[in-house]
Structure 1
Amino acid sequence: MSMRSESLNAATAIGSVQDVSGTSVSVTLRADRFSGLSFVDGQGYRIGQIGSFVKIPIGYMDLFGIVSQVGASAVPESLAKELPNGLRWMTVQLIGEGYRTGRFQRGISQYPTIDDEVHLVSEADLRVIYGKSDRQNHLVRVGHIAGSESIDALVDINKLVTRHSAVVGTTGSGKSTTVAGLLNVLSNEERFPSSRIVVLDLHGEYAKALGDRATVFRINPDPRNPNEQRLCIPFWALSFDEMLRVTFGALSTDGKARNVILERVLAAKAASLATSPIRGLTAENLSADSPVPFSLHKLWHELYGLDFATYYNSKGSPADPATWAYELDANHNEIAGNAEAGHPPRFRKVKNVKDDPEKINYVPDGLNIRAQLEALGSKLRVSRYDFLLRAGDWHPDAEGIVTKGLADLMKAWLGSPKPITILDLSGIPSSMTNDIIGNVLRVLYDGLFWARNLSEGGRERPLLIVMEEAHAYLNDNFDSAASLITQRIVKEGRKYGIGAMIVSQRPSEINATILSQCGTFFAMRLSNGSDRSQVTGALSDNLEGLTNMLPILRTGEAIILGEAVGLPMRTMIQAPPKGRRPDSQDPVICDELSPDESMTPGGWNIKPLEAPSYDPFVETWLQQNPIPSNNP
């Protein structure tokens, strides 16, 4: 060993191992290190800092660990009464091992023994462990190590995408900005020209941050923005049960109504397929779940007649619409309704007088789904549901013919020339948000699953799905469509090139099974104890000491843990420029700058209009669109 190596070892040695219990190691500090400061190559290091790294040399490799406790609480229970070294104890959690060649790996192949030396980890050690992005293509820079701006925080993109990840942090911790920063890095067209990311944006935050590299689909696109398109989720692309939930809703428990609807849907799809053949689908393998266009308006109109119609007894079969007793309008025309417009037919009241030649009765054997038919009729007439029930070029006519098919929809979502697709779901009625998210995820998963061996499938070109505000729809016991398919994605998606990034401010409200499948965590400031315990419980490493730091993290600072990093990193995430950040900032109540310095006075710093008009206020509210129709 050279003189310099000996002097470095002497400078970095801080104590020795006294107790080993699993991955937890108790260490006594050297008496000459009790000052808490040591210098290595002219740089000072604080000894015994919670969350700092230490190494234990064993032969030709070093064990690495994180300091989780310091002082009296770190004394082993068996020695608590004796305290032979006063309060100069610390507890270290072992997390991995490195070799003198510079290679580092997670996990422990052997354990330290009594009196093994414990050393500080210097910046030179960290540079070896964390590596350099210009040497390894799979590493991307997301920021720098907190306290060491010269050391890049690098994550393994392979593990980040396919092994799933979670970004968690309380409101105001910089969570949305962190996600935007990560997506900016992952969508770099020079490094990753085939990157493919779908963002489920519940609040319309990311169009501003990612607009130049994203195609935005929203219910009410801005006509001035060429990157925005109308969001269309055609009902016929859903499975039969998915379609029932978002159209008819809950049906009677006897199953009669469901069976009748299923038979009619299957017949309508068969007729549509015969008129407009679809490659890969035949009459033999057609099912009610097959994504074949058909007219829901026509089906609704027919079922409405079965449940509401009255008929003239004297005219023959009650099942024949020619015998039905329609009401008459002012011009004495029958009110037979309009299927495409969602207008129901109107029928005369029952007239059951003995020997009356115009005796009128209800059509027998109705489906008993009057409430569901009325509700569906209102959806067909209200524009808020047009993204689903009148989905633009994907809306079928009475014969089930559409302008664009399922391949066009998949190309729009997955084959955009831009690397990011933002599905802005902020305009979807809250009552069906959970179902719609589940339906979108299921369509994406099924498409990539079956096309996994093709050039646009998941194996050849993996997909990352970013689920913003995940606690809003993943907070049950897999009773909802969103939870069921998300569980499948996080458990099986890795094999087919589908990765998930779960983003939430309340990880304690997310189903624990889903969170436990996330291999990498970007844990930002979390003040709530149950949220911190949920993150700690989902981690495979014994890192309670590190996660105890979560309440004191700065805005924009995260502890990155898991498979995408060699060692857990306390990182300052590189935020995008101010003009490219998510639209999630708090409104300004009072500007901190003086009026002379400020370019954007705060909301309460400016005088209101003398005679403001609230007509646009009410118009945007009623049409569920933040842009008034008369002021684009």
Structure 2
Amino acid sequence: MNSASPTLIGTVQDVNGTSVSVALTGAQLSGLTFVDGQGYRIGQIGSFVRIPVGYADLFGIVSQVGASAIPEALADTGGAGYRWLKVQLIGEGSAGGQFQRGISQYPTIDDDVHLVSQRDLQRIYGRRGKQHHLVKVGHIAGSQSIDALVDLNKLVTRHSAVVGTTGSGKSTTVASVVRSLSSAKNYPSSRILILDIHGEYQAAFADRAHVYKVNIDASRADQERLCLPFWAMEFDELMSLTFGSFPVDSKARNLIMERIIAAKVATVKSDAGSDIDPEAVNADSPIPFDIKKLWYDLYCQEFGTYFSSKGKTPVEENWAYKLDAQGQPIKGDASKGLPPRFREVKSVAGDDEKINYLPETLNIRAQLEAFGAKLRIPRYNFFLRPGAWDPDPEGKTEETLAHLMKGWIGSDRPVTILDLSGVPSAITNDVIGILLRLIYDCLFWARHLSQGGRERPLLLVLEEAHTYLNGDIGGRASTVVQRIVKEGRKYGIGAMIVSQRPSEINSTILSQCGTFFALRLSNGNDRSKITGAISENLEGLTSMLPILRTGEAIILGEGVGIPMRTLIEPPPKDKRPDSADPVVCDETSPEDSMIPGGWGIPMEADPNYEELVALWRQQTPFTSALVNLDEAEG
């Protein structure tokens, strides 16, 4: 033992796999030592130690300190004392060389154990020369001079997760990472798509993102309407959002499928320039057709009555419509989702006008009524009346599917935000699943093209993932994301899962995440979920999660050479997500201030709650809608 070394803190006394028990030397009279004029605390949980073995240095993380770190063989002797450390080995470096993950040899009894100095930290975390595949996300918590660098290739292709309780700095961390990845200087062709559940991220990326919203703010020119054409959905997806689910072998399901196929084939045949083989068209083919006409025809078939005394074969003139106040038949309007109204069945003897139902029905009256209501409710317009992608009765659209996908994943800006805050909560899971399935299929079939993910990989950022990737819900979103995290790497699709409750995330999805940004987590179930998902044996490090500061994260996994406690570098204040806590009382106000903010601000004399109700009814938070409302009333 070289007792003269100021970094020496103890010796190896027990080796059990990658776990090493270290007896502290009695030479250190306190928990503080000085190396090159800089003070270091000995035995800090999460700190590093170095064990020289021949021409190499083994590195480990302190996971346990004190009497509980005593080897089991000595625990019963009672005389072992309490000056012990337990260390988890994580990597090694050759003499004077860089650190690398994994170990090729193990320490032996009485090998010296040293604390890691600033010079060693630079050796572990530092990189020689400029390497574009390393992205700076902050700096090491123990040293502001050492950058926290993440491997971009591993971060995107091997998936990642950002987890942390509310208020831990999770959204700011996502914004910081995404801004680093979308730097025009370093990565001019980066491609990132954010599913923004609560509409938080537009402010963070106003200078580099296209924003698509269900409810656009009329006062903003940097927003476009989010459209999800119903005809681009697969058959089962479309049924789920319109008619509802049917048994696989049901007559109604099969008939609706046949009619959709026929409508899509008619669209293909009517397009002289189409190169699609009508024989190859199926119910899942993304080909436009008029679903409102399909609904109308099915409604007539289910509800229609006719004058049977005028002929056995019902024709338009023989249908028994109800009459309006002007004596005109109520035929409805397919384009508006207005159903026709029919007279009741009459079969009274001697009556001149016998009225019967149409001969064939499917017993889907409830489904047709529900679907008709959706056609009339504006909140469903984003997929039932998708703007330039809404087909006319002949199946023609103003814009193509190629134009839609180019806007989502091929625009001139590196970031695309799909703001789903206006999607009805009852269908959010399905909508997210359909969006992700479209993107996955698009890049899957384009894998050999320059537009595909192999040439230009795509990073999907899935905010508030626990709300739609719950392990107990076999929903459409969870099914698609499981496919992405298991197979997406081959086609250039990476996922970043963002959640405040990792314990609620589907285990398959979380286990496929190679890199974790773990911010403050107070819940024990959440911490154990992270510990179980990472490959390293680092329970001691993850036990620090409840005491992390806001904006501080432990980064673990494939994206970093070694787990590191990091202070995330936040974006400028005007480039942060709109997720800050409301001010109840302004802590920065001078003591003599009479209005400290929040609850300290005097209320208006007569607040106008009519405005509140108006926005509520219009299902929009934008005050510009109030101006439009006033103009309409004027």
Q: Given the two structures, how large is their TM-score scaled by the length of structure 2?
A: 0.95
- Contact 2:458 2:492 survives alignment (8 Å): yes
TM-aligned CA deviation for residue 105 of structure 1? 2.1
Written as runs of structure 1 = structure 2, the 5 A alignment for 1:191-210 is 191-210=186-205
What code does the residue aligned with 2:627 have? Answer: N
Q: Which of 74, 97, 106 is the aligned partner of 1:102? A: 97
Alignment correspondent of 1:631? 627
1:549 aligns with 2:544: yes
How far apart are the structure 2 equivalents of 1:172 and 1:9?
47
- What's the CA shift string for 1:134-180, capped at 9, x where partnerless? 52111111001112111111110111111000000000101111111
1:484 aligns with 2:479: yes
- Contact 1:187 1:195 survives alignment (8 Å): yes
Secondary structure (helix, strand or coil) at the match of 1:627 reads: coil
Q: Which of 220, 235, 251 is the aligned partner of 1:225? A: 220
1:86 aligns with 2:81: yes
Alignment correspondent of 2:632? none
Secondary structure (helix, strand or coil) at the match of 1:244 reads: helix
Distance 1:557 1:413, change over 3 A: same
TM-aligned CA deviation for residue 33 of structure 1? 2.6
- Contact 2:160 2:513 survives alignment (8 Å): yes
How far apart are the structure 2 equivalents of 1:467 and 1:180?
13
- Contact 1:132 1:152 survives alignment (8 Å): no
Distance 1:277 1:421, change over 3 A: farther
How far apart are the structure 2 equivalents of 1:469 and 1:457?
27
Secondary structure (helix, strand or coil) at the match of 1:358 reads: coil
Written as runs of structure 1 = structure 2, the 5 A alignment for 1:312-391 is 312-317=307-312, 320-391=315-386
How far apart are the structure 1 equivalents of 2:30 and 2:465?
46
- Contact 1:439 1:482 survives alignment (8 Å): yes
How far apart are the structure 1 equivalents of 2:463 and 2:273?
35
Secondary structure (helix, strand or coil) at the match of 2:586 reads: coil
- Contact 1:311 1:318 survives alignment (8 Å): no
TM-aligned CA deviation for residue 320 of structure 1? 4.3
How far apart are the structure 1 equivalents of 2:273 and 2:199?
35
How far apart are the structure 1 equivalents of 2:385 and 2:75?
72
TM-aligned CA deviation for residue 599 of structure 1? 13
- What's the CA shift string for 1:541-579, capped at 9, x where partnerless? 100000000000000000000000011010000001111
Secondary structure (helix, strand or coil) at the match of 1:93 reads: strand
How far apart are the structure 1 equivalents of 2:230 and 2:184?
34
Distance 1:564 1:278, change over 3 A: farther
Give runs of ≥4 in structure 1 deviating > 6 Å.
Answer: 6-9, 595-600
**Pairs aligned (count):** 627
How far apart are the structure 1 equivalents of 2:480 and 2:499?
18
What code does the residue aligned with 1:358 have? Answer: E
Distance 1:59 1:387, change over 3 A: same
TM-aligned CA deviation for residue 227 of structure 1? 2.0
1:536 aligns with 2:531: yes
TM-aligned CA deviation for residue 453 of structure 1? 1.5
TM-aligned CA deviation for residue 83 of structure 1? 4.7
TM-aligned CA deviation for residue 591 of structure 1? 1.8
Written as runs of structure 1 = structure 2, the 5 A alignment for 1:134-153 is 135-153=130-148
RMSD between superposed Cα atoms in Å: 2.0
What code does the residue aligned with 1:339 have? Answer: A
How far apart are the structure 2 equivalents of 1:63 and 1:321?
86
Instruction: Specify every segment of 5 or more residues in structure 1 that has no aligned partner in the other structure, as ranges.
Output: 1-5
Q: Which of 273, 281, 287 is the aligned partner of 1:286? A: 281
Alignment correspondent of 1:612? 607
Alignment correspondent of 1:3? none
TM-aligned CA deviation for residue 13 of structure 1? 1.9
The alignment-based identity, stated in percent, is 63
Distance 1:101 1:289, change over 3 A: farther
Alignment correspondent of 1:48? 43
How far apart are the structure 2 equivalents of 1:599 and 1:342?
57
1:423 aligns with 2:380: no
Secondary structure (helix, strand or coil) at the match of 1:284 reads: helix
How far apart are the structure 2 equivalents of 1:238 and 1:391?
13
Alignment correspondent of 1:466? 461
Q: Which of 412, 428, 432 is the aligned partner of 1:433? A: 428
Written as runs of structure 1 = structure 2, the 5 A alignment for 1:140-219 is 140-219=135-214
Alignment correspondent of 2:437? 442
